Amino acid sequence: MQNFDYYNPTHIIFGKGRIADLDKQVPANARVLITYGGGSVRKNGTLDEVKAALGQRHVLEFSGIEPNPAYETLLPAVELVRREKIDFLLAVGGGSVIDGTKFIAAAACYAGDPWEILTSHGAKVTGALPLGTVLTLPATGSEMNNGAVVTRKELKAKLPFLHPAVYPRFSVLDPTKTFTLPPRQIANGVVDAFVHVMEQYLTYPVNSPVQDRFAESLLQTLVEIGPQALANPQDYDIRANVMWTATLALNGLIACGVPQDWATHMIGHELTALYGMDHGQTLAVVLPAMMDERRQAKEAKLLQYGERVWGIREGSVAARIDAAIAKTREFFEAMGTKTRLADYGVGQDGVDQVIAQLQTHGMTALGETREVTPEVSRRVLERSL
């Protein structure tokens, strides 16, 4: 096992009816900015429930944070926070709203050009306003981690940043708030959580049996309940399990002491920035091709994954790995998420464009062993056409 640090101070408030707890969690004298997306939380009553829980506090709203939150969208919120002396941010939505709110929280405390927060991947963050979240879409894990991804549309650049100051103080996870999500969003969320686990699991063995088994626990559970979540949108327990699984998939726990990959995510980010593909769609396309391309470097873990998650115990090494990749692809397709670039209208010239953008963004030595050069990324993309 490798040395590691684990620190995660986010208070999770989980279950039916827990939005009422906001009254205990948000300081009584806070000047609160509620941030949200396209307005579904307004239509389905969640926003009213949040505001009722906040009672007499001074509350402003900022709406319109889009999927893959845009730098250009968020800067006016930073101005609003400063002008109105906001001292607490409350994100109500999914990972995009939460990520955007983390950026607002850090940018409001940053004296320089806020773009530096992203180009430094968080190294230049000097602090952040306190923030809490009310999660409505299980997927990204942002509700219990210190990361965020923001897109600068004019540059077609989708960049991550990390900083301990942006851990949410609390996150309210009420599974009933997911009942009205469109199937495509549930599918994207399940695929995203699945690939988060894979990026921390499918590397090389370091004698970490608990981390391996925890990762396999999350994968097995997503395989089991993902399709059920589509079929039974009002089933509380299924939605509760999807929600908690997605949170655990990226809260730092399964990363303790093990190498991490993230090449699939970095290539996926470029596909979203260039072609507007959903984040989950990009992962469903890239991961199976990445598994195939890196089958030698990842052989031991691919075999373990095949056996423990899919019960694949027979056949040659190559046949077992083929079967594990095929099962993964079938799972994504069963969730309704297509797994080929062609399904999204992206062809060979798209491959060239993604490689050029990876080079522009310095993504030239990806993966757990830094072996995913632009040439390797090209072969991955060509395998996914």
Q: Which residues bind a copy of itself (CB under 8 A)?
A: 1-18, 207-210, 213-214, 216-218, 220-221, 224-225, 237, 240-241, 244-245, 248, 253, 256-257
CB-based contact 222:193 (threshold 8 Å)? yes
Q: How far is CA 90 from CA 79, 108, 167, 311, in A?
A: 16, 14, 13, 43
CB of 245 to a copy of itself, least distance (A): 5
Residues 239/15, Cβ–Cβ less than 8 Å: no
Pick the closer one to a copy of itself by CB: 9 or 183.
Answer: 9
Region of residue 181 (left: phi > 0; alpha: psi -120 to 50; beta: else):
beta
Beta bridge mates, 131: 89
* Distance of closest approach, residue 167 Cβ to a copy of itself, in angstroms: 10
What does the alpha-carbon distance between residue 274 and residue 279 come to, in Å, rounded to a whole number?
12
Q: Which is nearer to a copy of itself, 43 or 213 (CB)?
A: 213
Structural tokens at position 28: 């009584």
101 three-class SS: helix
User: C-alpha angle 141/248/48, rounded to 5°?
Assistant: 50
Measured from the Cβ of residue 265, the count of other Cβ atoms closer than 10 Å reads: 21
Dihedral, CA of residue 179, residue 197, residue 19 and residue 230, to nearest 10? 0
Shortest distance, position 212 Cβ to a copy of itself, whole Å: 8
Query: What are the residues whose beta carbons fall under 8 Å from the beta carbon of 348, sequence distance 6 or more?
Result: 382, 385
In the complex with a copy of itself, the residue whose CB is nearer, 59 or 144, is: 144
Indicate the residue among 9 and 112 with the shorter CB distance to a copy of itself.
Answer: 9
3-state secondary structure of 148: strand
Minimum gap (Å) between residue 221 Cβ and a copy of itself: 5
Whole-number minimum distance, CB 164 to a copy of itself, in Å? 10
Nearest distance, CB of residue 345 and a copy of itself, angstroms: 37
**Residue 11 Cβ, how far from a copy of itself at the closest point, in Å?**
4
